[in-house]
Amino acid sequence: MSKYVAFNNDTALSYVQELGQFFPADAVLSCYEFGDGNLNLVFRIQDANEQRSIILKQALPYARCVGESWPLTLDRARIEASVLQKHGAVCPELTAKVLHHNSELAVTILEDLGHMAILRGELNQGNTFKHLGTHVGTYLANTSFFHSDFYLPAADKKSLVQEFTNPELCAITEDLFFDDPYRDHERNNYPVALEEQVSLLRENKTLLINVAKLKSKFYSSPQTLLHGDVHTGSLFVSAQETKFIDPEFGFFGPIGFDLGSFIGNLLLNYCAQNGRIIETPKRRDVHSYLLSTISTCLQTFEQHWLTLAKTDTRDLALQAPGYVEQFLQEVLQDAMGYCGTELIRRTIGLAHVADIDGIEDEAKRLAVQKQTLLLGEQLILNSKSCRSTDDFYQLIISFAH
């Protein structure tokens, strides 16, 4: 089977059986499709005794959430598998393992993480994970440092930048993060009651200039191999484990983008809990956990990056005393800006989050949406005033409360 065709349960199962490398020849296998994402088909194949299972993921040639009117390249499946392999090589304990890939069919077979849960759903239920901040900070530090100019020889990095050029999916990010929310566009989606606040946001010239700078950096700063879509739906978690999945938006871009996207999603959940949790003590506990996780993530990322730079920087010029500290300060400033764009685009753009949309009370949901818009705007406007992780944390909590 080599020519592309979209799988169903039967054809996915047949493909795995033809490979013959994951199950015994006499295993009684079952297959079902369970993906609920916007872009792909996802199947679980398991034996009758449920002693072993794998995940088969296949890219569709269009955006599933829109339909065939929004075509997409199948090459994103290659990019996703390759990012997982590259990131897994430097951070294996936190990256989903690729077992097989077929670029012609846009198929990737992955380890089954069914014993874990998607972070977004768990946070929406008020569940907490004590290692999350440390794990995410470590992953983002490792994957960004070892694919940066600090570590890679220049020729190797330039070659990888070409290999991971991802124009179609980057265009989606560029539109949804930096363009659509700041102008009238048919893809935007928000209640009429937000119109006044949205109009003021779009008339804020200083904000628009800052967003333009963030977009320009996204265009022109191939600092590292990004995951490209770090949100709480792209993380599996358990009490002890964290695993990153779904990096099909991966490309070489600004280091702060992944960090800012993750923090933005924790802040979306922080605001959403105001409309989700009725009991004040419980809501305070969850708020405290989310803010603590953000602080831990920022500190872990910065400290781990500084350690790696001290011990593993290969480029002689980049070893100049004090340079890495200045570099990271700019990365963190970028992260706060990208965090703000995530908050805004998830509130009024095309792709919302269940954290907010799942709030049944319309008045409470609207209050949360107003809060996320204000928080996003202030993070973008004030990010450059921060000089340390403590500054960034104080900036967050000053507008989050």
- What is the number of other CB atoms lying within 10 angstroms of the CB of residue 107? 25
Q: Is 112 annotated as a binding residue?
A: yes
Rounded distance between C-alpha atoms, residue 130 and residue 296, angstroms = 10
Q: Is 345 annotated as a binding residue?
A: yes
Q: Is 290 annotated as a binding residue?
A: no
Q: Is 355 annotated as a binding residue?
A: no
Q: Is 120 annotated as a binding residue?
A: no
Rounded distance between C-alpha atoms, residue 259 and residue 303, angstroms = 14
Output Rg (C-alpha) for the chain, integer angstroms: 21
Rounded distance between C-alpha atoms, residue 234 and residue 133, angstroms = 15
Measured at the alpha carbon of residue 182, what is the angle toward residues 177 and 188, in degrees to the nearest 5? 75
Q: Is 188 annotated as a binding residue?
A: no
Ramachandran quadrant class, 228 (left: phi over 0; alpha: psi -120 to 50; beta: rest): left
Please say whether the beta carbons of 78 and 164 come within 8 A: no
Q: Is 179 annotated as a binding residue?
A: no
Give the chain's end-to-end CA distance (angstroms, integer): 56
Q: Is 123 annotated as a binding residue?
A: no
Q: Is 247 annotated as a binding residue?
A: yes
Q: Is 40 annotated as a binding residue?
A: yes
Residues annotated as binding site? 40, 57, 111-113, 229, 246-248, 345
Residues annotated as binding site for ATP? 40, 57, 111-113, 246-248
Residues annotated as binding site for substrate? 229, 345
